[in-house]
Amino acid sequence: MKLTEQDRTRWADAATAATLFAVDPAGLGGVLLHALPGPVRERWLGLVHGLLPAGTPWRRVPLNINDGRLLGGLDLSATLSAGRPIAERGLLAEADGGVVVLAMAERVSTGMAARLAAALDDGELRIEREGLAQVVAARIGVIALDEGIEPDEVVAPALVDRFAFLVDLHDLRGIDEGLELPAPDTIAAARARLAQVQLPEALIEALCGTALALGIPGLRAVQQVARATRVIAALEGRDLATEEDASIAGRLVLAPRATQVPQREAPPEPPPDAEAPPEPPPEPPPEQPPEPDAPPEPPPEGEDSEKDNEPPPFDLEKAIEDMILEATKAAIPPNLLAQLQAGAAKTGKARASGKSGAVQKLAARGRPAGALRGEPRAGLRLSVIDTLRAAAPWQRLRQRELATRPPSPFPTPKVLVRREDFHVTRLQQKRETTTIFVVDASGSSAMNRLAEAKGAVELLLADCYVRRDRVAIIGFRGTTADVLLPPTRSLSRAKRSLAGLPGGGGTPLATALDAAIELADAVARRGETPGIVLLTDGRANVARDGTGGRAKAEDDAMAASRRLRAAGFATLFVDTSPRQQPVAQRLASEMRATYLPLPSADARTLSSAVRAVGPGSR
């Protein structure tokens, strides 16, 4: 496949970043590689791996790695066998002096990002856990594989801030196989020379000015571009970095971080024409006599003209900064330039721990539900009986194996337990349920069934109180939907909030559904199970923007219903109108809710029906 010139440039910049990173992984921090799994990404990773000196550690970090394997800690099986504490070497310590490849970096938790950032900052790990206290070296470089597609799938800013290069190979259709790369001897020589490469003071000030002109906050980017400049000079075999080195480093480090397009300064206004005749002095007033003294002689012809036409003194630092700035500006991605020129800087919404929201782990408390193989870490409890049961059949073989080893000064354990024998107790715990009541208090409902709806909700609240569920109430009327009661177990508060709900006004159904979705999403992120009970006649007549009009209001309500269906929350639609409404049936079908028409029922009948099919009964 024939490559375009733009693709060739992108691959050339990516290969240059790989080369510089191979020279100094720990000094440059890391590379954020935005690319989906495929041959292009694997080719780039193979390029970095091939450029590293032989024997350089290369470790891949899976997303679900635990702290014990990442940082190190107590090796429980070795400790039981030896009868004394044995420390386990973590993956970061194993990668000391090498590279760590972080899979699915956009889903890394906040805690793991903080641990990696600390290792990048200090070059070592301070481990104080499980009765151990030690400091181990961990000078690593990180390659973070960003596979995010959605706008909210971004890598933690704490990690991105510590990476020198942001490489984007997404949608790259091919690679340039004919690109020349440095030999391994050149990489080794650059590593040896790097410590003695100097950066002129004028070049440092020019790099700072370039970062300032591009709107890059903080000093880390300046430190990284200065380090990259020294690496480029070391690859060229020079002990003093030049302007060309800084231009290449600015393209690779500063351009992807630009938050504004630098504005060219307006040229100074030309001096007035020296040859133009000076303006005559103003004539004195008639009542004053003329001055007896003669006017001063004019300066010699051409003196002012030559002085005004003298060129300004040459500013070396400004010239270097302009050259670096132009080279960096040319490397800013075109889509970023379009956004910046439109007045929207490129800012991402960082998530703390992946797209999935609340992370579900094995319960730390609850009823025992058997045992499973695993290590007693992260709050898990060791199942002693199941562990001994797994180790018992192997005792004779392990004792024979132990007898063939050299004698140990420590006592021989009675039972030999190994890592594969460990079992942890599995606990199960029911997730708490939060029922969100969305009550229509508009004029049509107030005229028909509001009193019965209030009575039914009070009965349902009592039932939720018995089950120790949380309840929340949203009332909507006029142009707004208000959370009358946030999630609580207090029955008295719920009754007071419901009793104070007035009736009358329009039906802002779309606004009410939006409020219910936001509240249910907040409940789900706390690890609880939300359920929505909607009591309304479905006749929306107020749009999201607060304007009246049944057609627009129904369109907004349909759009909000589709959003509720996409959220996947269990929903019960109680049609409180005196007769079944086709629009209510369409809304219930659109939000994929259980439809419950109650054309004639009192509060107790309504409560029984909702309890039988509602989300709170599951």
- Spatial distance between the Cα atoms of 331 and 13, rounded to a whole number of angstroms: 10
Percent of the chain residues past pLDDT 70, beyond the cut:
71
**Which residue is listed with tokens 């039914």?**
456
| Pair of tokens at residue 536 | 């309304």
User: Which structural domain, as residue segments, surrounds residue 145?
Assistant: 24-174
Angle between helices 491-499 and 450-466 (to 10 degrees): 170
Greatest Cα pair distance, the chain, in angstroms, is 131
- Asked if residue 410 has pLDDT above 50, the reply is yes
390 near 332, Cβ under 8 Å?
no
Residues 251 and 131 in one domain: no
Q: How far is CA 500 from the centre of its chain?
A: 42
Residues 607-617: tens digit of each pLDDT = 565 555 445 44
- Asked if residue 442 has pLDDT above 60, the reply is yes
Last residue of one domain, picked from the residues 405, 428, 451:
428
Give me the CATH number covering residue 469.
3.40.50.410
Give me the CATH number covering residue 60.
3.40.50.300
Residues 103 and 224 in one domain: no
- Asked if residue 190 has pLDDT above 90, the reply is yes
| The predicted structure's pLDDT at residue 163 | 94
- Spatial distance between the Cα atoms of 109 and 137, rounded to a whole number of angstroms: 23
Residue 438, phi then psi, degrees to nearest 5: -110, 105
User: How high does pLDDT run on average in the chain?
Assistant: 77
Average pLDDT over every residue of 556-567: 91
Query: Considering the domain boundaries, does residue 292 fall inside one?
Result: no
33 near 256, Cβ under 8 Å?
no
Residues 488 and 460 in one domain: yes
More confident residue, 428 or 50: 50
- Asked if residue 259 has pLDDT above 70, the reply is yes
Q: Which band of pLDDT confidence, cut at 50, 70 and 90, is reported for residue 449?
A: low
| Pair of tokens at residue 278 | 């000076």
Query: Considering the domain boundaries, does residue 244 fall inside one?
Result: yes
Query: Considering the domain boundaries, does residue 280 fall inside one?
Result: no
- Asked if residue 356 has pLDDT above 50, the reply is no
Residue 322, phi then psi, degrees to nearest 5: -65, -40
Q: Which band of pLDDT confidence, cut at 50, 70 and 90, is reported for residue 389?
A: confident
Average pLDDT over every residue of 447-471: 68
Neighbours of 254 (CB within 10 A): 28
Average pLDDT over every residue of 570-592: 85
- Spatial distance between the Cα atoms of 208 and 321, rounded to a whole number of angstroms: 9
Residues 414 and 520 in one domain: no
**Which residue is listed with tokens 């004792």?**
399
Provide the pairing of β-strand 141-146 with 58-61. Answer: unpaired
Q: Which band of pLDDT confidence, cut at 50, 70 and 90, is reported for residue 511?
A: very high
Residues 192 and 134 in one domain: no
Residues 475 and 512 in one domain: yes
Lowest-confidence segment of 65-79, 150-164, 187-201 by average pLDDT: 65-79
Residues 242-253: tens digit of each pLDDT = 999 999 998 899
Query: Considering the domain boundaries, does residue 457 fall inside one?
Result: yes
- Asked if residue 341 has pLDDT above 80, the reply is no
Residues 6+ apart with CB under 8 A from 28: 20, 21, 141, 163, 164, 165, 224, 227, 228, 231
Query: Considering the domain boundaries, does residue 42 fall inside one?
Result: yes
Residues 383 and 474 in one domain: no
Residues 555 and 459 in one domain: yes
| pTM (2 d.p.) | 0.57
Query: Considering the domain boundaries, does residue 375 fall inside one?
Result: yes
Lowest-confidence segment of 273-277, 554-558, 569-573 by average pLDDT: 273-277
- Spatial distance between the Cα atoms of 291 and 295, rounded to a whole number of angstroms: 9
Residues 194 and 164 in one domain: no
- Asked if residue 327 has pLDDT above 80, the reply is no
Structurally, the chain folds into a number of domains equal to 4
520 near 486, Cβ under 8 Å?
no
- Asked if residue 204 has pLDDT above 80, the reply is yes
Q: Which band of pLDDT confidence, cut at 50, 70 and 90, is reported for residue 353?
A: very low
Average pLDDT over every residue of 520-527: 86
| The predicted structure's pLDDT at residue 56 | 92
- Spatial distance between the Cα atoms of 458 and 533, rounded to a whole number of angstroms: 13
Residues 402 and 484 in one domain: no
Q: Which band of pLDDT confidence, cut at 50, 70 and 90, is reported for residue 274?
A: very low
| Pair of tokens at residue 409 | 């000064």
What are the helix (H) ranges across 473-508?
A: 491-499
Average pLDDT over every residue of 192-202: 92
| Burial track 577-593 (b if 16+ CB lie within 10 A, e otherwise) | beeebebbebbbebbbb
Angle at 326 between CA 323 and CA 331, to 5 degrees: 130
| The predicted structure's pLDDT at residue 398 | 81
- Spatial distance between the Cα atoms of 558 and 588, rounded to a whole number of angstroms: 10
Last residue of one domain, picked from the residues 144, 174, 204:
174
| The predicted structure's pLDDT at residue 347 | 37
Query: Considering the domain boundaries, does residue 4 fall inside one?
Result: no
Amino acid letter, 318: K
| The predicted structure's pLDDT at residue 465 | 67
Give me the CATH number covering residue 215.
1.10.8.80
Residues 445 and 418 in one domain: no
Query: Considering the domain boundaries, does residue 12 fall inside one?
Result: no
- Spatial distance between the Cα atoms of 614 and 618, rounded to a whole number of angstroms: 8
Residues 406 and 521 in one domain: no
517 near 564, Cβ under 8 Å?
yes
Average pLDDT over every residue of 199-208: 90
Last residue of one domain, picked from the residues 158, 174, 190:
174
